[in-house]
Amino acid sequence: MQFTDHGLCRSVFAMPRKPRIEYEGAVYHVLNRGNYQEDLFDVDGSGPMFEEVLFAAAGRFGWILHAYVIMSNHYHLAMETPEANLVVGMQWLQSTFGNRFNRVVRQRGHVFQGRYKALLVEDGGYLLKLVNYVHLNPVRAGIVEVDQLRQHALSSFPKFFSKKRPACLANRNWLALAGDLVPTPAGMRRYHKYLAMCHESDSGRQKELHVQLCRGWFVGTREGKEAILSDIADGNLDVGPGSDQFGKEGAELLLKRGLASLAKPARDLEDDRKGAVWKVVLASWVKSQCGVGNQWLSEHLFMGNMHNVSRMVSQELKAPQKHRKLWKQLKRAKN
């Protein structure tokens, strides 16, 4: 998807549906929940059925599964897409399973509550943290104790101890991150001990981990997130149907670019007067692309009362030719 800087947030950061960022080698935390009142994956062998379809999808689309777990009413996947095919693959996975499930239970309708969530994951330590979180899901749910984790069959964890595991399962990268462990049964036994220590140390951080690993659209460092946003803004990444969840983050990126283009240090936002022409033009430029609220503009550009911000921005957008030079500078804004 190509777009100009002037259309940045209108075309990407303010669409009504959650975005799907796809590129070769992307790593995701994918999760979804069942739509039925009863536990979806406890119905008539539906758990093993979903696992079978998951392996088929991984083989069909070339996915790498770093970890997965199937619980009674939801699933978690830590997966990598060597090709940029998350959307088409997930459509096949969920629709294929849904059709098979409905045939078994003789029902119709959606099997899952809604669209799956797919959080982009920064490689390295964040991948390991996600793999640990996925594998420990049955322990947090009180289904098994951590030393009995291999007994939860619908998970990648016990599969990694078997030489006959599906080819799509891969543990070399994250085992190395866990302390230079190797992908052997002995390495997995050491990882099991490591996982038990992680569970003990994270016992009081469950809510924090859930927010970090299951909410938003990105799991990783601020620098990693800004790099992704910059690639989107520059047209280097394709984004499927999006949502406004990028709005404020996109606005922050535009503000940073705008300041650089105008040769203004960030401290000038606070030091200069609230209605300075360059601030009004900058606010108008950001708003024209992101549609962020006047409250955000007021707070981030230090422009005072948001009603005055609304009035100043509205006037500027009606007559941008009055400050053509500033608008021209902003349209050339680069990271």
- For the record, the structure tokens of 255 come out as 């503000």
Strand 64-70, strand 74-81: pairing: antiparallel
Lowest-confidence pick of 25-29, 86-90, 267-271: 267-271
What is the average pLDDT across 58-72? 97
What global pTM score does this model have? Answer: 0.76
Alpha helices in the chain, H assignment, sequence order: 8, 46-61, 86-105, 125-135, 137-140, 156-159, 172-177, 185-201, 206-214, 222-233, 247-261, 267-271, 277-290, 294-301, 306-318, 324-331
pLDDT (average), residues 11-15 = 37
Q: How many helices, marked H, and strands, marked E, lie in the chain?
A: 16, 7
Cα 177 to Cα 125: distance, rounded to the nearest angstrom: 7
pLDDT at 4 > cutoff 80: no
Amino acid occupying residue 158: P
Strand partners, 118: 30
Sequence-separated (6 or more) residues with CB below 8 Å from residue 257: 5, 233, 333, 334, 335
More confident call, 157 vs 204: 157
**Superfamily (CATH H level) for 20-216:** Transposase IS200-like (3.30.70.1290)
pLDDT at 68: 98
What residue segments make up the domains of the chain, in order of their start? 20-216, 245-331
pLDDT at 331 over 50: yes
pLDDT band at 181 (very low <50, low <70, confident <90, very high): very high
